[in-house]
Amino acid sequence: MRLISADDIAAAQRRLAGRVVRTPLMPCPRLGDAHGLDLWVKAENLQHTGSFKARGAMNALLALVERAGAPAGLTAFSAGNHGMAVAWAGRTFGLPTVVCMPPHAVPAKIAAVRRYGGEVVLTEDLLGTCETLAAERGYHLLPPYDNPDVIAGQATVGRELLADGPPPGLVLVPVGGGGLISGVAAALRAAASGPTGSTEPQAGPATRIVGVEPVTANAIGHALRTGEATPPQRPRSMADGLAAPFAGRHTLAHVRALVDEVVEVREDDIRDAWWELMDATKLLVEPAAAVTLAALRAGLVSAAPGTRTVLVLSGGNVSPAALSTLA
């Protein structure tokens, strides 16, 4: 399985320039002091559509247009953030977009997809419905994570955080299907191999890259341990953005080659970390964005005192009902 290259990432960055938000890398001394780290957050909750997914979706669409011209439309399956991102990307080109969502999808996320101009189809058969739309209408099925163009789009998160200061000693990334951590790791390893190095990213010792997923939604961790892409139990977590049904082939290859470790956090720890993260940063984030802090709080990840540490805040799409569980 070929990993994405530094050239792929540079191409994504060129495509996305001016189209996505260059999100801030913000210091968080309060959390840093609490954990003895020089702690920063990469605020992808401030990205268009409220999550990093905008990067991957837009890069995949732009790459497709470059190679094959604009499709008749777009389709995607998603419980939320990816669907919003695809609808947003499609609207940029005036393309009709159909997002297949599970019947239990959060109403606020359904409404958000519609706000970006997407048509919503509620169905248990997510993939099958998308494939039918692709076959019958010629729509392009834009996958949520297991795709090199999507991964290269997410990699621009890593490029940006490197451009905003010295290389971090520790980067913590939420893991669902693995697209974000695959991209971020590829960008960090490509940089570690040097500006004149090969275009293939190399695992480098400079930065420790740790993925974090819920114990109850651990497709990547399960796949790393067993080689099975699909976990035995249906994923379910308050961090609903991380409830990926299976580990991707591309993402698993990137994680195996480039990521130091993937750890798993409990629901109670996610809830406590979620509030601490919002209170300390004054950013509205979704629970998925807090799994990294949950791992620090639970002592699952440690680093030398004062280590420059970046938590990637994956998104900020949350409902009032979810917030009410904090009380």
Shortest approach of its own copies to residue 284 CB, angstroms?
5
* DSSP per residue, 139-189: -EE--SSSSHHHHHHHHHHHHHHHHTSSPPSEEEEE-SSSHHHHHHHHHHH
**Interatomic CA distance for residues 324 and 88, integer angstroms:** 28
Report helix, strand or coil for 43. Answer: strand
Shortest approach of its own copies to residue 51 CB, angstroms?
10
Query: Would you give the DSSP letter of residue 64?
Result: H
Shortest approach of its own copies to residue 30 CB, angstroms?
8
Q: Is 316 in the site for its own copies (CB under 8 A)?
A: yes
Query: Which one of the spans 44-52, 59-67, 201-209, 304-312 is the region binding its own copies (CB under 8 A)?
Result: 44-52
- The position carrying tokens 């913590």 is 172
**Enclosing H/E stretch for 237:** none
Shortest approach of its own copies to residue 115 CB, angstroms?
8
Judged by CB under 8 A, the residue of 17, 24, 206, 268 near its own copies is 24
**φ, ψ at 215 (rounded to 5°):** -55, -35
**φ, ψ at 286 (rounded to 5°):** -90, 160
Q: Is 275 in the site for its own copies (CB under 8 A)?
A: yes
Q: Is 321 in the site for its own copies (CB under 8 A)?
A: yes
Shortest approach of its own copies to residue 133 CB, angstroms?
28
- Is 11 or 278 the residue whose CB approaches its own copies more closely? 278
Within 8 A by CB and 6+ apart from 194, the residues are none
- Is 60 or 285 the residue whose CB approaches its own copies more closely? 285
- Is 125 or 279 the residue whose CB approaches its own copies more closely? 279
- Binding residues vs its own copies (CB under 8 A): 24, 26, 45-46, 50, 275, 278-279, 281-285, 316, 320-321, 323-324, 326-327
